[in-house]
A and B are shown apart, each in its own frame.
Chain A
Amino acid sequence: MSRSALTHPVDGRFGAFGGQYVPETLMSALHELEDMWHEAKADPQFQLELAGHRRAFIGRPTPIYAATRLSEKFGGTHIHFKREDLCHTGAHKLNNAVGQALLALRMGKKRIIAETGAGQHGVATATVCARFGLDCTVYMGTEDMRRQSMNVRRMKLLGAEVIEVKSGSKTLKDATTEAIRDWVTNVRTTHYIIGSVVGPHPYPEMVRDLQRVIGDEAREQYLSLDGKLPDVVVACVGGGSNAIGIFTAFIDDRDVALVGVEAAGKGIRTGQHAASLVGGRPGVLHGSYSYVLQDGDGQILPTHSISAGLDYPGVGPEHAFLRDIERVEYVAVTDQEAVVAFKLCTRLEGIMPALEPSHAIHQAGVIARELGPGGRILVCLSGRGDKDMDSVDGG
């Protein structure tokens, strides 16, 4: 299958997945956004500006790093990290926020809204709003404000208004629902910067386009090591933006296995998890058709993950498609396994990963033991872990 067939949605869909299941009030804004995005993408001036901000503001390209002591611990497979934790503000989320802020300026929209779970996307959005002089409102669930309190303070210092969402499970799903409702009300003046490859078309495509820089850089950097590609690329999947970001460059490399890691929480069988691709069924959430954790009546189920950024009952529609055509394998890793990986990586590499990519690091260990010495794994280290110190006990 050619790259274009895989990565270009047709009529807003990746295979059967995607679409625009939103109130009529938003339809013209989505059409405008789609047109503006395609226009901006093709505009050399926009690309030049974006490249400049990536270099000087985000700090790109981020390096790849040989995690030698972790590699040794996991049995001798070579493990590399793509260091998105070194992006300004500490996660890959800024890649998307910068691009969408430039687009908002182009559309003449001065008010920005966003949802956030871990607070990384909220911080990234508050950061670009400070940088470009835009008005910023971030929706965040009560539960996430508690467990990611450092990021709440950062957003406020950056000048954003943080609105507490007390409905439902008080986490990312509910924050997203509130943000969409705000957008329905203020759509004429407001741009909604969605934080992942979720939501109605064109968001999954646009956020993917802005995040694919991760994989485009990583593939070239990896090849420059010894001319070979990795055997496996591993990334955590919440909504799926860092994973799509790193996978896209490798989609056509048929010998490279791609593994997406969801949050198994307390275990898939307990029902307390956030693994939509592993444990869910197709359905509609937040404007697109994809895998969703839901009951038999289509009501969205509460989720659990120790990692606020993965604690979401849906996933981007492109992942649903990649799952069904079996190009990407999706697995799930528990809270406990992620915490162990977090500590291991911190002690052995001097790099404190966020809890989200700690799920991917655990899975890299599992795969490493299968591959044995001489295997080659690339992990997307999507963010740093300072925000998670309260969730991980000292031990």
Chain B
Amino acid sequence: MVAERLRLENALRADGDLKLVAYMMAGHPHKKRSIEVGRRLAGSGIAALEIGIPHSDPLADGPVIQKAGQEALANGMTVEGALEVAKAVAAEGVPVVLMTYINPVLQHDPRKFAAESAQAGVAGVIVPDLPIEEAEPVAGWLRAASLDTIFMVAPTTPPDRIATICSHSTGFVYCVTVTGITGARKELPEGMDELFSEVRKHTQLPLAAGFGISRQEHMKALRGKLDAAVVGSAIVDEIERGGDGVALVRELLKACR
């Protein structure tokens, strides 16, 4: 079981600041390096780390994360391997959230996946192609293993549906800022604040914004509006170029306080 301090609900709650959640792909560019990168990111000041499990057909991802996933798969990454990466990184004391598509979970066996994730010290799971209507029985097994089930709200989600999604979520609620797929954007869309305040009406959980977030200006724009920001493609891009994303995280963190 995850320690109280590492529970997502506590780790992601803003405290006059904006928490930062980093994303990396397990096995990108290969397993050993991704564990190294994960450990460094763990100590970089982030509130939590999302670790992607690569999938051949990632419907919600843009070119950067898709390419990272393809590279990871080509270098032999598997669900089992990704759980090992997660375990090694979680041991550093950072809350780890797995992000994966539903088919790898189904084929691995969802009950086994839930048990093994919990054993690896994972705090929660996000499955972007699992809307609330399709969530059971998988979400039930995740919860039974004491994992948080994080669901997404999108700019296209109507208000009554937002309420239902919030009631299905534990740990935090993921607010997709853009109508679209992952990938760094220059500017965040207008109208985002309305989404956040609508979601806020329906839950006490921390709210995290994700998709497109990559710059200090974005952090400034988000601070005070919600609890956390997820930075994905921008970090993956750094890792793709041989870096570890830590410098980027530090720079972004300056704008979070």
Contact = CB atoms under 8 A, between A and B. Distances in A.
B130 A21 contact: yes
B224 interface: no
A2 B200 CA distance: 48
Interface residues of A, number: 36
Given A167-B66, A188-B156, A300 B134 contact: no
Interface string B20-60: 00000000000000000000000000000000000111011
A323 B60 CA distance: 30
- The CB with the most chain A CB atoms within 10 A, among B59, B161, B176, is that of B59
A328 B60 CA distance: 34
A296 B107 contact: yes
Interface in B94-111: 101-108
B242 interface: no
A297 B134 contact: no
Contacts of B57: 168, 173, 177, 285-286, 300
B93 to A, nearest CB: 29
Most buried by A among B56, B103, B104, B165: B56
Contact of A283 (B103, B128, B161): B103
Contact of A28 (B60, B101, B152, B156): B156
Contacts of A297: 78-79, 104, 107-108
A21 B129 contact: yes
Interface stretch (A103-111, A178-186, A358-366): A178-186
Question: Number of contact residues on B: which range applies?
Answer: 35 or more
A284 B56 contact: no
Interface in B134-183: 134, 151-158, 161, 165, 176, 179-181
A298 B106 contact: yes
A283 B133 contact: no
A68 B105 CA distance: 52
B103 A285 contact: yes
B104 to A, nearest CB: 4
Contact of B156 (A25, A180, A181, A294): A25
A299 interface: yes
B239 interface: no
A196 interface: no
Contact of B152 (A24, A281, A284, A286): A24
Given A24-B131, A184-B59, 17 more contacts: A19-B134, A25-B60, A25-B154, A25-B156, A25-B180, A27-B133, A168-B70, A177-B57, A185-B181, A188-B156, A283-B103, A285-B103, A298-B103, A298-B107, A299-B55, A299-B73, A299-B104
Interface of A: 12, 19-29, 167-168, 173, 177, 180-181, 184-188, 281, 283-287, 292, 294, 296-300
13 contacts: A12-B133, A19-B133, A20-B131, A22-B131, A167-B70, A185-B180, A283-B103, A286-B59, A294-B107, A297-B79, A297-B104, A298-B107, A300-B103
